Amino acid sequence: MTTLKAVRGTRDLLPAETGLWNRIEATARSVFERYNFGEIRTPVFEDTALFSRGVGEETDIVSKEMYTWEDRARAQSEKTQQLTLRPENTAGVVRAYIEHKLGETGQLQKLYYIGPQFRRERPQKGRYRQFSQIGAEVIGPVSAGSESPLRDAEVLEMLSTLLDELGISGWTLKINSVGSASDRPKYIETLKAALAPIVSQMCVDCQRRAVTNPLRVLDCKVPEDQPFIDALPRIADSLDEDSKAHFAAVCAALDAASVPYTRDHRLVRGLDYYTRTTFEFTHGGLGAQNALLGGGRYDGLSELIGGPKAPGIGFAMGEDRLVLTLQAVEAAKAELADAYIAPLGEAQNAAALELARELRRSQPDRPGLRIELGDGSFRLKKSFEAADKVARTIVMLGEDEAKSGILTVKDFASGVQSKVARVELAAFLLSSRNKY
């Protein structure tokens, strides 16, 4: 008999891995609760029409990737139905919002979810057919402020906090505005006109997209197509005054909150329901599948699936990719020394050697502290650069520190600088080693 295996694109998570998954979920729940979100759990399968109407017939997800089947009626009172394993969770959350008349409370609904999604994609590292998303949505009547750019900025600021608390540094936030429902058709016409004379020189996918869904051309990754795409008209130039002002207000609020971002004119995202703000967080450690999370505003989605006007904004992060990123971060960290001792001036070289010796000998039981010793002839900037490459922290030892026995320690991952008594330094370095 042939041995049965997990289906292509699906995986078992064994106890060696589930600890990290649980830690990620616990951190996400803790951050969401502090921002006053509550959890929602919607069914794993839904009526197919929810996705074809909500996500859009012409998107890759709906046209190629959904697990859909005809569910036979079991009794005369039942109808045979087309059902689909959810490929994403926003449409389900908005359906639940409508079904339970959550808009009638007059309040903004702030909902988060954690759970499996299903897409028949070509599996590779970071891309699976069953994967887990952690997401959140802010949705409600206009009178509750659901259209406000402050909501967009708050969601983005929350995400920067969540990534920081997960211990993921080095992310990039890209944002764009795809305009309102009325800006979009204008831009699509402009895009079609610009594509018409050149599309025959582009890839076959783009030739199809130029007819069925021209916005998707902007997502094309084929290298030869990039010069054509870069020269296409930008959506920013088709936005009306309200959409421009909305986007400017989101950017101003992000600036005020010191959340770093870059503007990406090509970020239109793969789902049709987005309006105005769209965004994506990427991480260099992920390789080809570098998107950690994506999201945006969907002011017309509720109406698309038969509900009242209920503007909203949300995101979904790939939990599988968070796990991969954190595993890479942890592997890189395991190679780093616990501290780099930086003598501030050559006069401190001898004292630095003595401190390094003390720390290296402080933990005779393995694994002991791993210490790198700098050189007092280095300028401070050079010491920092050297330390950042080889150690988790830098310990500065100048004349004042040598006299007072109070050392300044900077942790590179968190950016936090602490004053630590020399007698407590070994314990301090050991305890900070065990954080994420």
Q: Which residues bind ligand AMP (CB under 6 A)?
A: 88, 119, 121, 126-128, 131, 133, 270, 291-294, 316-318, 320-321
State the nearest-atom distance from the C-beta of 11 to ligand AMP, in Å: 10
State the nearest-atom distance from the C-beta of 61 to ligand AMP, in Å: 7
**Which residues are CB-contacts of 34 (< 8 A; sequence separation ≥ 6)?**
none
Q: How far is CA 216 from CA 273, 276, 333, 337, in A?
A: 13, 16, 38, 46
Cα–Cα nearest to 131, from 88, 84, 67, 83: 88
State the nearest-atom distance from the C-beta of 402 to ligand AMP, in Å: 49
Nearer to ligand AMP, 121 or 388 (CB): 121
Nearer to ligand AMP, 164 or 375 (CB): 164
State the nearest-atom distance from the C-beta of 7 to ligand AMP, in Å: 14
Q: Which residues share a beta bridge with 116?
A: 132
CB 134 within 8 A of CB 28: yes
Nearer to ligand AMP, 156 or 292 (CB): 292
Nearer to ligand AMP, 198 or 328 (CB): 328
State the nearest-atom distance from the C-beta of 19 to ligand AMP, in Å: 20
* Strands of the 275-283 sheet, one edge to the other: 38-39, 109-118, 130-139, 312-318, 291-297, 275-283, 171-177, 262-263
Nearer to ligand AMP, 85 or 317 (CB): 317
State the nearest-atom distance from the C-beta of 311 to ligand AMP, in Å: 19
> Would you mind telling me the total number of residues written for the chain in this entry?
436
Nearer to ligand AMP, 216 or 370 (CB): 216
User: In this structure, what DSSP letter does residue 52 have?
Assistant: I
Q: Which residue has the tokens 């969770």?
A: 89
**Element containing residue 279 per DSSP (H, E):** strand 275-283
Q: Report the alpha-carbon distance of residue 238 to residue 186 in Å, rounded.
A: 7
State the nearest-atom distance from the C-beta of 28 to ligand AMP, in Å: 14
User: In this structure, what DSSP letter does residue 25 have?
Assistant: H
**Which residues are CB-contacts of 7 (< 8 A; sequence separation ≥ 6)?**
129
Give the three-class secondary structure for 4. coil
Distance linking the first and last C-alpha atoms of the chain: 45
Q: Encoding tokens for residue 307? A: 């509900």
Nearer to ligand AMP, 131 or 247 (CB): 131
State the nearest-atom distance from the C-beta of 133 to ligand AMP, in Å: 5
Nearest position to ligand AMP, beta carbon: 318
Nearer to ligand AMP, 98 or 293 (CB): 293
Q: How many other C-beta atoms lie within 10 A of the C-beta of residue 340? A: 26
Q: Report the alpha-carbon distance of residue 73 to residue 246 in Å, rounded.
A: 48
Nearer to ligand AMP, 29 or 120 (CB): 120
**Element containing residue 393 per DSSP (H, E):** strand 393-397
Q: Which residue has the tokens 């936005």?
A: 239
Encode burial over 157-180: b for 16+ CB neighbours within 10 A, e otherwise.
Answer: bbbbebbeebbbeebebbbbbbbb
Give the three-class secondary structure for 30. helix
State the nearest-atom distance from the C-beta of 320 to ligand AMP, in Å: 5
State the nearest-atom distance from the C-beta of 8 to ligand AMP, in Å: 12
State the nearest-atom distance from the C-beta of 357 to ligand AMP, in Å: 46
Nearer to ligand AMP, 60 or 372 (CB): 60
User: Which residue type does 375 have?
Assistant: D
